[in-house]
Structure 1
Amino acid sequence: MPSDGEDAQDEVLRVAEMFGEVARLLAGHESIQVTLNKIVELAVEHLDGCEFAGISLVRGREITSPASSNDIPRTLDKIQEEVGEGPCLDAIKEHEVFQTGDLAAEERWPRFATRAHQETGVRSILSIRLFVDEDTMGALNLYATKPDAFNETDVAMASVFAAHAAVAMSATRREEDLERKVESRDLIGRAKGILMARSGLTDEQAFDMLRRASQRQNIKLVAVAHQIVDAEPVAPPAEPPTGPTPDSGSVTANGG
Protein backbone atom coordinates (compact mmCIF):
# COMPACT_ATOMS: atom_id res chain seq x y z
CA MET A 1 0.00 0.00 0.00
CA PRO A 2 1.55 3.37 -1.01
CA SER A 3 2.52 5.74 1.78
CA ASP A 4 1.24 9.29 2.15
CA GLY A 5 4.58 10.54 0.83
CA GLU A 6 4.30 8.37 -2.28
CA ASP A 7 0.72 9.54 -2.86
CA ALA A 8 1.82 13.18 -2.61
CA GLN A 9 4.68 12.54 -5.04
CA ASP A 10 2.33 10.86 -7.51
CA GLU A 11 -0.04 13.83 -7.29
CA VAL A 12 2.80 16.28 -7.98
CA LEU A 13 3.84 14.26 -11.04
CA ARG A 14 0.24 14.08 -12.27
CA VAL A 15 -0.22 17.84 -11.98
CA ALA A 16 3.15 18.49 -13.66
CA GLU A 17 2.22 16.24 -16.59
CA MET A 18 -1.17 17.92 -16.89
CA PHE A 19 0.22 21.44 -17.08
CA GLY A 20 2.98 20.22 -19.36
CA GLU A 21 0.27 19.14 -21.79
CA VAL A 22 -1.34 22.59 -21.63
CA ALA A 23 2.04 24.25 -22.21
CA ARG A 24 2.69 22.05 -25.26
CA LEU A 25 -0.68 23.04 -26.70
CA LEU A 26 0.11 26.72 -26.30
CA ALA A 27 3.54 26.30 -27.88
CA GLY A 28 2.22 24.23 -30.79
CA HIS A 29 0.22 25.08 -33.86
CA GLU A 30 -3.26 24.52 -32.43
CA SER A 31 -5.90 27.18 -32.96
CA ILE A 32 -7.07 29.37 -30.10
CA GLN A 33 -10.41 27.54 -30.09
CA VAL A 34 -8.74 24.14 -29.75
CA THR A 35 -6.56 25.45 -26.93
CA LEU A 36 -9.46 26.93 -24.97
CA ASN A 37 -11.52 23.77 -25.45
CA LYS A 38 -8.60 21.71 -24.15
CA ILE A 39 -8.21 23.89 -21.05
CA VAL A 40 -11.90 23.44 -20.24
CA GLU A 41 -11.61 19.69 -20.84
CA LEU A 42 -8.55 19.40 -18.58
CA ALA A 43 -10.26 21.41 -15.83
CA VAL A 44 -13.16 18.96 -15.71
CA GLU A 45 -10.82 15.99 -15.96
CA HIS A 46 -8.25 16.96 -13.32
CA LEU A 47 -9.99 19.20 -10.77
CA ASP A 48 -11.72 16.75 -8.45
CA GLY A 49 -14.65 18.99 -7.55
CA CYS A 50 -15.33 20.29 -11.06
CA GLU A 51 -18.22 18.78 -13.04
CA PHE A 52 -18.62 21.50 -15.69
CA ALA A 53 -16.35 24.30 -16.88
CA GLY A 54 -16.47 27.22 -19.26
CA ILE A 55 -14.56 30.28 -20.39
CA SER A 56 -16.55 33.52 -20.60
CA LEU A 57 -15.78 36.80 -22.33
CA VAL A 58 -17.53 40.08 -21.60
CA ARG A 59 -17.91 42.93 -24.09
CA GLY A 60 -20.16 45.69 -22.84
CA ARG A 61 -23.27 43.92 -21.58
CA GLU A 62 -22.80 40.85 -23.75
CA ILE A 63 -21.34 37.63 -22.35
CA THR A 64 -20.05 35.04 -24.82
CA SER A 65 -18.94 31.47 -24.12
CA PRO A 66 -16.11 30.55 -26.53
CA ALA A 67 -15.34 27.31 -24.67
CA SER A 68 -17.72 25.19 -22.61
CA SER A 69 -17.73 21.57 -21.44
CA ASN A 70 -21.50 21.31 -22.08
CA ASP A 71 -24.63 23.50 -22.20
CA ILE A 72 -24.70 24.31 -18.46
CA PRO A 73 -21.90 26.94 -18.49
CA ARG A 74 -23.51 28.59 -21.52
CA THR A 75 -26.88 28.66 -19.74
CA LEU A 76 -25.31 30.24 -16.65
CA ASP A 77 -23.54 32.86 -18.78
CA LYS A 78 -26.85 33.71 -20.43
CA ILE A 79 -28.56 34.11 -17.05
CA GLN A 80 -25.79 36.45 -15.83
CA GLU A 81 -26.12 38.49 -19.01
CA GLU A 82 -29.90 38.78 -18.58
CA VAL A 83 -29.92 39.71 -14.88
CA GLY A 84 -26.69 41.75 -14.94
CA GLU A 85 -25.07 40.07 -11.94
CA GLY A 86 -23.13 36.96 -11.01
CA PRO A 87 -19.71 35.58 -10.03
CA CYS A 88 -18.27 35.70 -13.55
CA LEU A 89 -19.13 39.39 -13.94
CA ASP A 90 -17.71 40.21 -10.51
CA ALA A 91 -14.50 38.27 -11.18
CA ILE A 92 -13.96 40.33 -14.33
CA LYS A 93 -15.01 43.71 -12.92
CA GLU A 94 -13.30 43.42 -9.54
CA HIS A 95 -10.23 41.44 -10.66
CA GLU A 96 -10.68 38.78 -8.02
CA VAL A 97 -11.61 35.15 -7.46
CA PHE A 98 -15.28 34.62 -6.61
CA GLN A 99 -16.52 31.42 -5.06
CA THR A 100 -19.79 30.16 -3.66
CA GLY A 101 -20.29 26.84 -1.92
CA ASP A 102 -24.08 26.84 -1.98
CA LEU A 103 -25.82 28.75 -4.73
CA ALA A 104 -29.22 27.95 -3.23
CA ALA A 105 -28.35 30.12 -0.21
CA GLU A 106 -26.25 32.75 -2.02
CA GLU A 107 -27.15 36.37 -1.17
CA ARG A 108 -24.55 38.31 -3.20
CA TRP A 109 -26.35 37.68 -6.52
CA PRO A 110 -29.98 36.92 -5.55
CA ARG A 111 -31.50 37.17 -9.04
CA PHE A 112 -28.75 35.08 -10.62
CA ALA A 113 -28.58 32.54 -7.79
CA THR A 114 -32.29 31.73 -7.82
CA ARG A 115 -32.51 31.16 -11.56
CA ALA A 116 -29.14 29.44 -11.86
CA HIS A 117 -29.90 26.86 -9.18
CA GLN A 118 -33.44 26.23 -10.42
CA GLU A 119 -32.49 25.90 -14.11
CA THR A 120 -29.21 23.97 -13.82
CA GLY A 121 -29.01 22.38 -10.37
CA VAL A 122 -25.55 23.90 -9.82
CA ARG A 123 -24.60 24.52 -6.18
CA SER A 124 -20.86 25.39 -6.26
CA ILE A 125 -19.18 27.97 -8.52
CA LEU A 126 -15.57 29.10 -8.79
CA SER A 127 -14.90 32.07 -11.12
CA ILE A 128 -11.37 33.31 -11.79
CA ARG A 129 -10.52 36.36 -13.84
CA LEU A 130 -8.53 35.78 -17.02
CA PHE A 131 -5.86 38.43 -17.35
CA VAL A 132 -2.46 39.26 -18.78
CA ASP A 133 -0.94 42.24 -16.96
CA GLU A 134 -3.93 44.54 -16.36
CA ASP A 135 -5.86 43.62 -19.49
CA THR A 136 -9.12 41.98 -18.44
CA MET A 137 -10.52 39.56 -20.99
CA GLY A 138 -12.94 37.24 -19.24
CA ALA A 139 -13.19 34.50 -16.64
CA LEU A 140 -12.64 30.78 -16.19
CA ASN A 141 -15.72 29.33 -14.47
CA LEU A 142 -15.91 25.96 -12.71
CA TYR A 143 -19.22 24.41 -11.60
CA ALA A 144 -20.48 21.50 -9.51
CA THR A 145 -23.88 20.24 -8.39
CA LYS A 146 -22.47 19.39 -4.93
CA PRO A 147 -22.22 22.07 -2.22
CA ASP A 148 -18.73 23.22 -1.13
CA ALA A 149 -17.14 21.34 -4.02
CA PHE A 150 -13.96 23.45 -4.33
CA ASN A 151 -11.15 23.58 -1.78
CA GLU A 152 -7.97 25.69 -1.64
CA THR A 153 -6.07 23.26 -3.88
CA ASP A 154 -8.78 23.53 -6.53
CA VAL A 155 -8.56 27.33 -6.39
CA ALA A 156 -4.77 27.22 -6.84
CA MET A 157 -4.94 24.80 -9.77
CA ALA A 158 -7.77 26.71 -11.42
CA SER A 159 -5.66 29.86 -11.18
CA VAL A 160 -2.95 28.13 -13.22
CA PHE A 161 -5.54 27.03 -15.78
CA ALA A 162 -6.76 30.63 -16.00
CA ALA A 163 -3.20 31.88 -16.53
CA HIS A 164 -2.68 29.45 -19.43
CA ALA A 165 -5.98 30.46 -21.01
CA ALA A 166 -5.15 34.17 -20.69
CA VAL A 167 -1.72 33.72 -22.29
CA ALA A 168 -3.26 31.85 -25.22
CA MET A 169 -5.94 34.49 -25.73
CA SER A 170 -3.44 37.35 -25.47
CA ALA A 171 -1.09 35.73 -28.00
CA THR A 172 -3.92 35.21 -30.46
CA ARG A 173 -5.08 38.81 -30.01
CA ARG A 174 -1.56 40.05 -30.85
CA GLU A 175 -1.43 37.83 -33.95
CA GLU A 176 -4.83 39.09 -35.12
CA ASP A 177 -3.78 42.71 -34.54
CA LEU A 178 -0.63 42.12 -36.58
CA GLU A 179 -2.64 40.54 -39.40
CA ARG A 180 -4.99 43.54 -39.44
CA LYS A 181 -2.04 45.93 -39.60
CA VAL A 182 -0.54 44.05 -42.54
CA GLU A 183 -3.90 44.01 -44.33
CA SER A 184 -4.32 47.76 -43.70
CA ARG A 185 -0.85 48.50 -45.02
CA ASP A 186 -1.52 46.49 -48.18
CA LEU A 187 -4.86 48.21 -48.70
CA ILE A 188 -3.33 51.68 -48.32
CA GLY A 189 -0.63 50.67 -50.80
CA ARG A 190 -3.29 49.65 -53.36
CA ALA A 191 -5.15 52.94 -52.86
CA LYS A 192 -1.95 54.94 -53.37
CA GLY A 193 -1.24 52.98 -56.54
CA ILE A 194 -4.70 53.82 -57.91
CA LEU A 195 -4.25 57.54 -57.18
CA MET A 196 -0.76 57.55 -58.71
CA ALA A 197 -1.99 55.87 -61.89
CA ARG A 198 -5.15 57.98 -62.12
CA SER A 199 -3.68 61.42 -61.35
CA GLY A 200 0.02 61.08 -62.05
CA LEU A 201 0.95 61.61 -58.39
CA THR A 202 4.11 60.57 -56.62
CA ASP A 203 3.94 58.08 -53.77
CA GLU A 204 4.27 60.90 -51.23
CA GLN A 205 1.58 63.01 -52.92
CA ALA A 206 -0.83 60.07 -53.05
CA PHE A 207 -0.34 59.37 -49.35
CA ASP A 208 -0.84 63.05 -48.52
CA MET A 209 -4.12 63.01 -50.47
CA LEU A 210 -5.29 59.98 -48.46
CA ARG A 211 -4.29 61.67 -45.20
CA ARG A 212 -6.15 64.90 -46.01
CA ALA A 213 -9.26 62.94 -47.03
CA SER A 214 -9.09 61.05 -43.73
CA GLN A 215 -8.95 64.31 -41.76
CA ARG A 216 -11.69 65.94 -43.82
CA GLN A 217 -14.11 63.00 -43.43
CA ASN A 218 -13.01 62.29 -39.85
CA ILE A 219 -12.46 58.60 -40.58
CA LYS A 220 -9.42 56.36 -40.42
CA LEU A 221 -6.90 56.31 -43.24
CA VAL A 222 -7.64 52.67 -43.98
CA ALA A 223 -11.35 53.52 -44.39
CA VAL A 224 -10.47 56.10 -47.06
CA ALA A 225 -8.30 53.49 -48.76
CA HIS A 226 -11.27 51.10 -48.71
CA GLN A 227 -13.43 53.71 -50.44
CA ILE A 228 -10.89 54.23 -53.23
CA VAL A 229 -10.23 50.53 -53.80
CA ASP A 230 -13.93 49.63 -53.71
CA ALA A 231 -14.77 52.42 -56.19
CA GLU A 232 -12.13 51.33 -58.69
CA PRO A 233 -13.88 49.67 -61.65
CA VAL A 234 -12.99 46.07 -62.24
CA ALA A 235 -11.67 45.43 -65.74
CA PRO A 236 -13.97 43.07 -67.66
CA PRO A 237 -12.49 39.71 -68.62
CA ALA A 238 -10.96 39.54 -72.07
CA GLU A 239 -13.28 38.25 -74.78
CA PRO A 240 -12.22 34.90 -76.22
CA PRO A 241 -11.05 35.12 -79.87
CA THR A 242 -13.67 34.39 -82.53
CA GLY A 243 -13.20 32.81 -85.95
CA PRO A 244 -10.35 30.59 -87.07
CA THR A 245 -6.96 31.04 -85.50
CA PRO A 246 -4.00 31.81 -87.77
CA ASP A 247 -2.84 28.22 -87.51
CA SER A 248 -6.22 26.74 -88.34
CA GLY A 249 -6.62 29.20 -91.19
CA SER A 250 -3.32 28.25 -92.76
CA VAL A 251 -4.16 24.58 -92.43
CA THR A 252 -7.46 25.17 -94.23
CA ALA A 253 -5.78 27.15 -96.95
CA ASN A 254 -3.19 24.47 -97.48
CA GLY A 255 -5.83 21.83 -97.44
CA GLY A 256 -7.85 23.77 -100.01
Structure 2
Amino acid sequence: MVDRSGHELATRMAELARAPAGRRTTEEVLAEVSATAVELIPGADTAGVLLIRRNGFESLGGTTDIPERLDELQVSYDEGPCIQAAVADVVVRTDDFRTETRWPKYSPAVVEIGVLSGISFKLFTAEKTAGALNLFGYQPHVWDGDALTVGSVLAAHATAAILANEHGHQLETALLSRDRIGQAKGIIMERYDVDDVRAFDMLRQLSQESNVKLADIAQRVIDSRGH
Protein backbone atom coordinates (compact mmCIF):
# COMPACT_ATOMS: atom_id res chain seq x y z
CA MET A 1 0.00 0.00 0.00
CA VAL A 2 2.81 2.41 0.81
CA ASP A 3 4.49 1.81 -2.53
CA ARG A 4 1.22 2.31 -4.37
CA SER A 5 0.55 5.52 -2.47
CA GLY A 6 4.05 6.79 -3.23
CA HIS A 7 3.63 6.01 -6.92
CA GLU A 8 0.24 7.71 -7.07
CA LEU A 9 1.61 10.77 -5.30
CA ALA A 10 4.56 11.02 -7.68
CA THR A 11 2.22 10.72 -10.66
CA ARG A 12 -0.19 13.36 -9.38
CA MET A 13 2.60 15.76 -8.43
CA ALA A 14 3.98 15.47 -11.96
CA GLU A 15 0.54 16.27 -13.33
CA LEU A 16 0.19 19.26 -11.03
CA ALA A 17 3.57 20.60 -12.08
CA ARG A 18 3.09 19.98 -15.81
CA ALA A 19 0.95 23.00 -16.64
CA PRO A 20 2.89 26.29 -16.68
CA ALA A 21 2.25 28.15 -13.42
CA GLY A 22 1.42 31.38 -15.22
CA ARG A 23 -1.64 29.82 -16.80
CA ARG A 24 -3.31 28.96 -13.51
CA THR A 25 -4.47 31.10 -10.65
CA THR A 26 -3.48 30.32 -7.08
CA GLU A 27 -7.04 29.25 -6.35
CA GLU A 28 -6.97 26.79 -9.26
CA VAL A 29 -3.73 25.25 -7.97
CA LEU A 30 -5.10 25.01 -4.44
CA ALA A 31 -8.28 23.38 -5.76
CA GLU A 32 -6.09 20.78 -7.49
CA VAL A 33 -4.15 20.18 -4.29
CA SER A 34 -7.36 19.70 -2.29
CA ALA A 35 -8.82 17.36 -4.89
CA THR A 36 -5.60 15.35 -4.95
CA ALA A 37 -5.65 15.03 -1.16
CA VAL A 38 -9.16 13.59 -1.28
CA GLU A 39 -8.14 11.29 -4.14
CA LEU A 40 -4.99 9.91 -2.51
CA ILE A 41 -5.68 9.91 1.21
CA PRO A 42 -8.12 7.29 2.49
CA GLY A 43 -10.63 8.80 4.90
CA ALA A 44 -10.30 12.34 3.52
CA ASP A 45 -13.84 13.12 2.36
CA THR A 46 -13.34 16.84 1.78
CA ALA A 47 -10.44 19.29 1.83
CA GLY A 48 -9.61 22.96 1.47
CA VAL A 49 -7.08 25.68 2.28
CA LEU A 50 -7.41 28.41 4.90
CA LEU A 51 -5.35 31.58 4.48
CA ILE A 52 -5.19 34.14 7.28
CA ARG A 53 -4.08 37.66 6.43
CA ARG A 54 -3.95 40.86 8.43
CA ASN A 55 -7.18 42.09 6.85
CA GLY A 56 -9.14 38.85 7.20
CA PHE A 57 -9.23 35.26 6.01
CA GLU A 58 -9.82 33.36 2.79
CA SER A 59 -11.15 29.85 2.34
CA LEU A 60 -9.89 28.53 -0.99
CA GLY A 61 -9.88 25.37 -3.08
CA GLY A 62 -12.60 23.53 -1.16
CA THR A 63 -13.76 20.27 -2.71
CA THR A 64 -17.16 20.88 -1.09
CA ASP A 65 -18.69 23.77 0.85
CA ILE A 66 -17.84 22.16 4.19
CA PRO A 67 -14.22 23.43 4.52
CA GLU A 68 -15.39 27.01 4.07
CA ARG A 69 -18.17 26.51 6.65
CA LEU A 70 -15.65 25.10 9.11
CA ASP A 71 -13.22 27.97 8.44
CA GLU A 72 -15.98 30.48 9.18
CA LEU A 73 -16.77 28.68 12.44
CA GLN A 74 -13.14 28.75 13.52
CA VAL A 75 -12.76 32.45 12.78
CA SER A 76 -16.03 33.13 14.62
CA TYR A 77 -14.99 31.08 17.67
CA ASP A 78 -11.31 32.06 17.40
CA GLU A 79 -10.33 28.42 17.89
CA GLY A 80 -9.85 25.26 15.87
CA PRO A 81 -7.28 23.00 14.21
CA CYS A 82 -6.94 24.93 10.96
CA ILE A 83 -6.13 28.18 12.74
CA GLN A 84 -3.79 26.35 15.12
CA ALA A 85 -1.91 24.77 12.20
CA ALA A 86 -1.80 28.06 10.27
CA VAL A 87 -0.32 30.14 13.09
CA ALA A 88 1.44 27.61 15.32
CA ASP A 89 1.78 23.84 14.94
CA VAL A 90 3.05 22.10 11.82
CA VAL A 91 0.46 19.30 11.90
CA VAL A 92 -2.77 19.28 13.93
CA ARG A 93 -4.61 15.96 13.99
CA THR A 94 -7.98 14.97 15.42
CA ASP A 95 -9.12 11.37 15.28
CA ASP A 96 -12.58 11.98 16.73
CA PHE A 97 -14.15 15.39 17.27
CA ARG A 98 -16.74 13.80 19.57
CA THR A 99 -14.04 13.41 22.21
CA GLU A 100 -11.87 16.40 21.21
CA THR A 101 -11.45 18.86 24.10
CA ARG A 102 -8.94 21.36 22.70
CA TRP A 103 -11.65 23.43 21.02
CA PRO A 104 -14.76 23.35 23.25
CA LYS A 105 -16.91 25.53 20.97
CA TYR A 106 -15.70 24.32 17.60
CA SER A 107 -15.67 20.55 18.13
CA PRO A 108 -19.40 20.10 18.89
CA ALA A 109 -20.30 22.31 15.93
CA VAL A 110 -18.15 20.16 13.63
CA VAL A 111 -19.82 16.98 14.84
CA GLU A 112 -23.23 18.54 14.20
CA ILE A 113 -22.21 19.19 10.60
CA GLY A 114 -21.18 15.56 10.23
CA VAL A 115 -17.39 15.79 10.36
CA LEU A 116 -15.73 13.45 12.86
CA SER A 117 -12.02 13.64 12.01
CA GLY A 118 -9.59 16.21 10.69
CA ILE A 119 -5.96 16.84 9.96
CA SER A 120 -4.36 20.19 9.14
CA PHE A 121 -0.92 20.91 7.66
CA LYS A 122 0.82 24.25 8.13
CA LEU A 123 1.69 26.17 4.97
CA PHE A 124 5.02 27.97 5.30
CA THR A 125 3.91 31.13 3.53
CA ALA A 126 5.06 34.74 3.56
CA GLU A 127 5.38 36.86 6.68
CA LYS A 128 1.97 38.54 6.31
CA THR A 129 0.08 35.35 5.46
CA ALA A 130 -0.56 32.22 7.52
CA GLY A 131 -2.21 29.16 6.04
CA ALA A 132 -3.12 25.51 6.38
CA LEU A 133 -4.18 22.63 4.13
CA ASN A 134 -7.11 21.00 5.89
CA LEU A 135 -8.56 17.51 5.41
CA PHE A 136 -11.80 16.33 6.97
CA GLY A 137 -13.37 12.89 7.32
CA TYR A 138 -16.93 11.82 8.00
CA GLN A 139 -15.64 8.81 9.98
CA PRO A 140 -13.40 8.74 13.08
CA HIS A 141 -9.88 7.31 13.30
CA VAL A 142 -9.06 7.41 9.58
CA TRP A 143 -5.55 8.93 9.53
CA ASP A 144 -2.44 6.78 9.13
CA GLY A 145 1.23 7.36 8.34
CA ASP A 146 0.54 7.68 4.62
CA ALA A 147 -1.94 10.47 5.32
CA LEU A 148 0.77 12.41 7.14
CA THR A 149 3.33 11.86 4.36
CA VAL A 150 1.07 12.65 1.42
CA GLY A 151 -0.54 15.58 3.19
CA SER A 152 2.84 17.12 3.99
CA VAL A 153 3.98 16.87 0.37
CA LEU A 154 0.76 18.42 -0.92
CA ALA A 155 1.03 21.20 1.67
CA ALA A 156 4.50 21.99 0.32
CA HIS A 157 3.06 22.22 -3.19
CA ALA A 158 0.30 24.55 -1.97
CA THR A 159 2.91 26.69 -0.22
CA ALA A 160 4.92 27.00 -3.45
CA ALA A 161 1.82 28.14 -5.35
CA ILE A 162 0.97 30.80 -2.76
CA LEU A 163 4.53 32.13 -2.59
CA ALA A 164 4.77 32.27 -6.38
CA ASN A 165 1.55 34.26 -6.50
CA GLU A 166 2.71 36.69 -3.81
CA HIS A 167 6.08 37.09 -5.50
CA GLY A 168 4.28 37.86 -8.76
CA HIS A 169 2.20 40.56 -7.06
CA GLN A 170 5.28 42.05 -5.46
CA LEU A 171 7.10 42.12 -8.80
CA GLU A 172 4.09 43.68 -10.50
CA THR A 173 3.87 46.34 -7.80
CA ALA A 174 7.59 47.07 -8.05
CA LEU A 175 7.42 47.47 -11.82
CA LEU A 176 4.38 49.73 -11.53
CA SER A 177 6.15 51.88 -8.94
CA ARG A 178 9.23 52.17 -11.14
CA ASP A 179 7.06 53.21 -14.08
CA ARG A 180 5.28 55.87 -11.99
CA ILE A 181 8.57 57.28 -10.70
CA GLY A 182 9.96 57.39 -14.24
CA GLN A 183 6.92 59.28 -15.51
CA ALA A 184 7.05 61.72 -12.61
CA LYS A 185 10.74 62.37 -13.16
CA GLY A 186 10.06 63.18 -16.81
CA ILE A 187 7.33 65.64 -15.86
CA ILE A 188 9.56 67.37 -13.29
CA MET A 189 12.49 67.55 -15.73
CA GLU A 190 10.31 69.20 -18.35
CA ARG A 191 8.43 71.48 -15.96
CA TYR A 192 11.42 72.75 -13.96
CA ASP A 193 14.22 72.28 -16.50
CA VAL A 194 16.30 70.01 -14.27
CA ASP A 195 18.23 66.87 -15.01
CA ASP A 196 17.33 63.28 -14.13
CA VAL A 197 19.29 63.21 -10.84
CA ARG A 198 17.80 66.49 -9.60
CA ALA A 199 14.28 65.37 -10.52
CA PHE A 200 14.67 62.21 -8.46
CA ASP A 201 16.13 64.16 -5.53
CA MET A 202 13.09 66.45 -5.62
CA LEU A 203 10.74 63.46 -5.51
CA ARG A 204 12.66 61.88 -2.66
CA GLN A 205 12.69 65.13 -0.65
CA LEU A 206 8.94 65.54 -1.10
CA SER A 207 8.47 61.95 0.05
CA GLN A 208 10.54 62.48 3.18
CA GLU A 209 8.93 65.80 4.08
CA SER A 210 5.38 64.51 3.72
CA ASN A 211 6.09 60.99 5.02
CA VAL A 212 4.42 59.58 1.91
CA LYS A 213 5.77 56.69 -0.17
CA LEU A 214 7.88 57.72 -3.13
CA ALA A 215 5.57 55.92 -5.59
CA ASP A 216 2.55 57.79 -4.18
CA ILE A 217 4.33 61.14 -4.51
CA ALA A 218 5.15 60.19 -8.09
CA GLN A 219 1.48 59.43 -8.75
CA ARG A 220 0.52 62.86 -7.38
CA VAL A 221 2.97 64.50 -9.75
CA ILE A 222 1.48 62.53 -12.64
CA ASP A 223 -2.06 63.50 -11.56
CA SER A 224 -1.02 67.18 -11.42
CA ARG A 225 -0.06 67.18 -15.07
CA GLY A 226 -2.03 69.78 -16.94
CA HIS A 227 -3.03 71.73 -13.81
Per the normalisation by structure 2, the TM-score is 0.92
Q: Distance in 2 between matches of 1:128 and 1:135?
A: 18
> Is residue 82 of structure 2 the alignment partner of residue 93 of structure 1?
no
Instruction: Provide the secondary structure at the position in 2 that maps to 1:110.
Output: coil
Greater radius of gyration (CA): 1
Give, in angstroms, the shift of residue 123 of structure 1.
Answer: 0.7
**Alpha-carbon spacing, 1:181–1:21, altered in 2? closer, same or farther (3 Å):** same
Q: CA RMSD, aligned part only?
A: 2.1
Q: Structure 2 matches for 1:169-248, cutoff 5 A?
A: 169-233=162-226
Q: Distance in 2 between matches of 1:169 and 1:80?
A: 22
Segment drifting more, 120-129 vs 196-205: 196-205
Per-residue CA deviations over 1:50-100 (Å, capped at 9, x if unaligned) read 111001101137321122111100000001111111101111222320011
Per-residue CA deviations over 1:194-250 (Å, capped at 9, x if unaligned) read 11111112111111111011011111101101111122239xxxxxxxxxxxxxxxx
The equivalent position to 1:68 in structure 2, one of 62, 65, 75, is: 62
Is the Cα–Cα contact under 8 Å of residues 120 and 135 in structure 2 kept in the other structure?
yes
The higher-RCO structure (CA 8 Å, 6+ apart) is 2
> Is residue 36 of structure 2 the alignment partner of residue 42 of structure 1?
yes
Segment drifting more, 25-34 vs 223-232: 25-34
- Which residue in the other structure is 1:137 paired with? 130
Q: Percent identity?
A: 37
Paired residue total: 227
**Alpha-carbon spacing, 1:232–1:185, altered in 2? closer, same or farther (3 Å):** same
Q: Distance in 1 between matches of 2:2 and 2:79?
A: 39
Is the Cα–Cα contact under 8 Å of residues 125 and 162 in structure 2 kept in the other structure?
no
Segment drifting more, 161-170 vs 18-27: 18-27
Q: Distance in 1 between matches of 2:198 and 2:140?
A: 69
